[in-house]
Structure 1
Amino acid sequence: MNPDIKAKFDSYPSPARQQLERVRDLILAQAAEHELGEVAETLKWGEASFQVKGGTPIRVDWKPEDPDAIKLFFHCQIRMIETLRERYRGEFRFEGKRAVAIPVGADIRQLPLAHCIEVALKYHSLKHLPLLGVC
């Protein structure tokens, strides 16, 4: 893990840190499963950011003003949230055009989060498809 990301995650309460680590592991697993290449891990705007060549960045963070959730952020000028809201209405809490909120205590294996991450990691090959090919 990038040391800056580790330090950031370690600064959070244990439940948030653990959930962020699980999401990071899921991102890495999806990239490996779909043979998408190395995942670049950096801090962007003070948040952990993960990206593969041909994908859109996935930023993840926890905010003290919403302590019961972690957030996955996507670029607000692409169709990620619009598509995920259409496909997974009722399964996630969405914030505007940029974030998906995941409860800190949720079992992410029971959510369609892996598919959402896969779409983000493959974004540039899917962006021409209606609803990014997910419906």
Structure 2
Amino acid sequence: MTPFDDPKVANAFKALPEDTRAGAMALRALVFETAASLPAAQPLQEALRWGQPAYLAPKGSTIRLGSHKSASFALFVHCQSRLMGDFTTAFPGDDRIDGNRAVLFDDPAQIDPTRHGWLIARALTYHL
């Protein structure tokens, strides 16, 4: 597990309900794993945005993780990007989606490293 550099981010994870935290931590691990294979995503910055853990790469679009009113946890991308449209075109009907902003999850077992890693990689290199 990647250690937290920012205690505020660690505290944001600790404040999440247990089921949300487990899923968000699994997504966090996938973000770091995916970023490690992308030189353009380095250095990856972990910070808080809108009170949620967020991941920013030099040429990327922000990814956020957290709770969602319609799911246990979610992976959020910038709603004015083409990321979610590209994702739903590449993987139609495979996930529960909140418009153009989030993939929704109820269980960490729903996280697919290939499919969701694809979305993460696209977000981390969005501006290339």
Report the TM-score range of the alignment, normalised by the length of the smaller protein. Answer: 0.7 to 0.9
Map 1:1-135; keep pairs closer than 5 Å.
1=4, 2-35=6-39, 36-63=41-68, 65-66=69-70, 68-109=71-112, 112-125=115-128
Deviation, 1:122, is 1.0
Q: Is the 8 A contact 2:35 2:42 kept in 1?
A: yes
Q: Which amino acid aligns with 1:27?
A: V
Q: Which amino acid aligns with 2:52?
A: E
Q: Is the 8 A contact 1:91 1:111 kept in 2?
A: no
How much is the aligned-residue C-alpha RMSD, in angstroms?
Answer: 1.6
Which structure's CA Rg is the greater one?
A: 1
CA distance in 2, matches of 1:111, 1:15: 22
Deviation, 1:105, is 3.7
Q: Which amino acid aligns with 2:44?
A: V
Instruction: Name the counterpart of 1:129.
Output: none
CA distance in 1, matches of 2:23, 2:94: 17
Q: TM-score, normalised by structure 1?
A: 0.82
The gaps in structure 1 that reach 5 residues or longer are 126-135
CA distance in 2, matches of 1:81, 1:110: 17
Identity among equivalent positions (%) equals 28
Instruction: Name the counterpart of 1:128.
Output: none
CA distance in 2, matches of 1:86, 1:18: 28
